């Protein structure tokens, strides 16, 4: 596995790329940047000229992750040349959030094979139900790990875009199947959020739309908890006050869910993933230090499956809500990940509207919110 990276800051243009491609024979190129960067007219042609043999994919972000820190309005390009691993890349255009499950089934059927070891998925951030998407992949692929995330749009929640070779569009779901015994794939998940307040029963919901908590309209109750000031800035301020879904019969957090939209007419909250009717939730809050510690937890889970000196790539997908809480110090969580994984591991990734990864110590791939997830890739050429 050979990895080369190129980076453009917010003040740099495509003309500032070096005159020669760092890896013209690349198999796969990952591109992360803002919606604005993906709107540049010569982007696709420039990338294709630099990487003529590669499948070029990516998405807009709420911030770009690199080994040097976290950037906005930059363009991060990571080229990968597989030496032994086989890849298959596919995509589709969504025709509505309600079809997320069926969309994933169609993509998974194109990727399914006995030698499939891992799947990378990058999707639209606003027109996809991430929970349903993951359930669709699992229904076909079983315990094959799915890593990736949902595109971002800063803190705007207006429009996200995805890149598939010559196409830049919203509404896309892109999936990469990776095959063969030479591939090393590992994942890590870390949070840092702490529940507060009494547990609340979800008494009425429809997939990712919550209408009632404890038999009361959900939106007014939520506003009461977050306060008048934060309520005026919804849905954006909801990033600071996610839901913790509590495991049945326990107090442990099973998943975190972030508010994507509110509806004053129905007094409902729409989340990035499903919140099951009958389930138990609590409100959450976090501090900078706890979130950084959570990112470290994710890195340690990955480090347990890597070898010292082994070249690898860590694709970090962290939630825009964490970026909102940590603000100017958001790079601290990325620096800790790099410190734990070591200089032999190259970093890329983005801040997202939802993260895809197996739950810790399981093969159960789910949608996470408010979570640092790491999808680690490498090759063992002697396998």
Tokens of 294: 């959570």
With a cut of 50, list the residues of the chain below it in pLDDT.
none
In a 13 Å sphere around the CA of 61, the CA atoms on its Cβ side amount to 28
What pTM, to 2 d.p., does this model score?
A: 0.89
Tokens of 75: 């363009």
Phi-psi region of 81 (alpha: psi -120 to 50; beta: other; left: phi over 0): beta
> CA-CA distance, 243 to 268, in Å (whole number)?
14
**Considering only CA atoms, which of 240, 215, 236 is closest in space to residue 225?**
240
CB 322 within 8 Å of CB 289: no
| Residue-level pLDDT at 75 | 97
Q: Give the ranges where the chain is alpha helix by DSSP (H).
A: 35-38, 43-50, 100-111, 130-141, 218-226, 228-231, 288-303, 320-326, 331-341
pLDDT in tens, 4-32: 999 999 999 999 999 999 999 999 999 99
pLDDT in tens, 244-300: 888 776 666 778 888 888 999 999 999 878 899 999 998 888 889 999 999 999 999
């Amino acid at each position: 596995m050979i990895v080369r990276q190129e980076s453009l800051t917010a003040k740099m243009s495509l003309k500032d790329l070096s005159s020669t491609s760092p890896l013209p024979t690349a198999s796969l190129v990952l591109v992360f940047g803002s919606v604005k960067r993906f709107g540049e007219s010569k982007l696709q042609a420039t990338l294709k000229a630099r990487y003529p043999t590669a499948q070029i994919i990516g998405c807009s972000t709420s911030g770009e992750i690199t080994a040097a820190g976290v950037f906005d309005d930059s363009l991060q390009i990571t080229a990968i040349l597989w030496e032994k691993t086989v890849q298959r890349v596919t995509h589709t255009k969504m025709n509505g959030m309600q079809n997320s499950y069926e969309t994933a089934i169609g993509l998974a059927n194109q990727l399914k094979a006995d030698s499939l070891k891992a799947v990378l998925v990058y999707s639209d951030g606003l027109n996809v139900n991430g929970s349903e998407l993951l359930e669709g992949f699992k229904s076909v692929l079983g315990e094959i790990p799915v890593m990736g995330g949902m595109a971002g749009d800063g803190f705007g929640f207006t429009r996200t875009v995805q890149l598939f070779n010559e196409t830049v569009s919203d509404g896309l779901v892109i999936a990469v199947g990776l095959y063969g015994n030479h591939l090393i794939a590992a994942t890590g998940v870390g949070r840092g959020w702490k529940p507060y307040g009494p547990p609340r029963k979800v008494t009425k919901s429809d997939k990712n739309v919550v209408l009632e908590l404890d038999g009361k309209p959900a939106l007014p109750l939520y506003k009461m908890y977050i306060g008048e000031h934060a309520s005026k800035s919804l849905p954006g301020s909801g990033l600071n006050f996610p839901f913790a879904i509590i495991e049945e019969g326990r107090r442990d957090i099973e998943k975190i869910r972030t508010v994507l939209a509110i509806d004053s007419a129905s007094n409902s909250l729409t989340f990035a993933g499903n919140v099951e009717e009958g389930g138990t939730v609590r409100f959450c809050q976090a501090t900078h230090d706890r979130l950084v510690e959570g990112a470290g937890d994710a890195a340690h889970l990955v480090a347990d499956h890597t070898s010292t000196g082994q070249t690898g790539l860590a694709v970090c997908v962290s939630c825009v809500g964490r970026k909102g809480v940590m603000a100017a110090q958001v790079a601290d969580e990325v620096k800790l990940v790099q410190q734990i994984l070591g200089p032999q591991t190259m970093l890329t990734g983005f801040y997202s509207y939802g993260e895809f990864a197996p739950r810790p110590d399981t093969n159960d791939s789910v949608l996470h919110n408010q979570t640092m997830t790491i999808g680690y890739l490498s090759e063992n050429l002697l396998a």
